[in-house]
Amino acid sequence: MSEPGHLTGTAPLNARARIPDIARAAGVSTATVDRVLNGREGVRAVTAQRVLQAAAQLGYLLTPDAPTVATARPMRIAFLLPAGTNRYLHMLGDYIEFAHEQWSALDMKCRAHYVESFNPNELADRLLYYGQRADGVVFMALEHPVVRDAVNTLADQGVPAITLISDLSNSRRLAYVGIDNRSAGRTAALLLGRFMGPRPSGKIAMLAGSLNYRGHEEREIGFLHLIESTFPQVRVIGLREGHDDSERNYRQTRKLLEEHPDLAGIYNSGGGSDGVARAIVEARSEQKILFIGHGLTPDTRALLIEGTMDALITQTPQAMVGNCLRIFRNVHEKRDALSDVKPVQFSIVLRENLP
């Protein structure tokens, strides 16, 4: 009997590993392997990790005759992610680190580094620091002049920067990789408005990580615009910033529910949804408080199953990271940066369609 987590059917490392070998070792189809290795959506994170592990163990693209691109050294890519308690971002960082071996086999070395959240000066310093030590940087942008200046300085030095999840206006960044955040906000508003139905109270509230993130600001704009145009009977009572922190979101939500005991729904456009959910459960409201958030993690999955959360909007880490790597590789091979790069799409996840 094999040990838990052991990959069966592995071939010797000196044999030329092919996609069918990886599929057998990981216990998946060749189509699944193809999607994972090319960073496409439609594969569960745990399955993607198993495929990458199998590929690394089989030495995929590591043999002398493998079709790798000859380079003096692998491309070094630094991913800068906000530090804090946002579980989705930590899941993204774990995915980057777990797949490091596989990406090394493709002549790309990628590492995740965490920087102080919501501090533009710290982010600008870290961009310049890692820009001197990497061939490209990927970061979640704060909308601030010092961050914009740092990105433009990197561009002058020939170091491309990609914004991830949240974009940066009027900067010389190479590309943005992430969902259409305004569309995501509009989608959340449509779901919340439809779910409410003919309720006696039409009050809803918004929570955001920080409006210093352009992505969160765009979600707010999309949300408010659709509520106003499609659900005029619904009243948004205000916006609070929770900085993606569970405890802060818990306190913010407790205060909201104390001030508005007839609150009908909450939209959290950032992280820390478990704090919101805890306050909702403790409130024991006579009516069901609708709750929509972002990012499929083990915590939000549990909230959907138990019914505290009604829906969430998410995108797969492998799709975003795969797009970043493809863009850098395009630039390295002197192709158009966005050649063969498909926009990242978001999914609406309910309890009944959990992946």
For 5, left (φ over 0), alpha (ψ -120 to 50), or beta? left
Domain segments of the chain: what residues?
Answer: 19-57, 75-178+317-335, 181-314
* 8 A C-beta contact, residue 185 and residue 269: yes
Rg (CA), the chain: 22
pLDDT for 174: 98
In this prediction, what percent of the chain has a pLDDT beyond 90? Answer: 66
Fold for domain 75-178+317-335?
A: Rossmann fold (3.40.50)
pLDDT in tens, 286-326: 889 999 999 999 999 999 999 999 999 999 998 899 899 99
pLDDT in tens, 57-103: 776 653 333 333 344 578 999 999 999 889 999 999 998 987 676 67
* 3 state SS for 278-338: HHHHHHCCCCCCEEEEECCCHHHHHHHHHCCCCEEEECCHHHHHHHHHHHHHHHHCCCCCC
For domain 181-314, the CATH class is alpha beta
In this prediction, what percent of the chain has a pLDDT beyond 70? Answer: 88
Beta-strand ranges (E) seen in 100-230 are 108-115, 136-139, 161-164, 175-177, 203-208
* 8 A C-beta contact, residue 136 and residue 162: yes
Domains 75-178+317-335 and 181-314 share a fold: yes
Average model confidence (pLDDT) for the chain?
87
Q: The tokens of 98 are what?
A: 């777990």
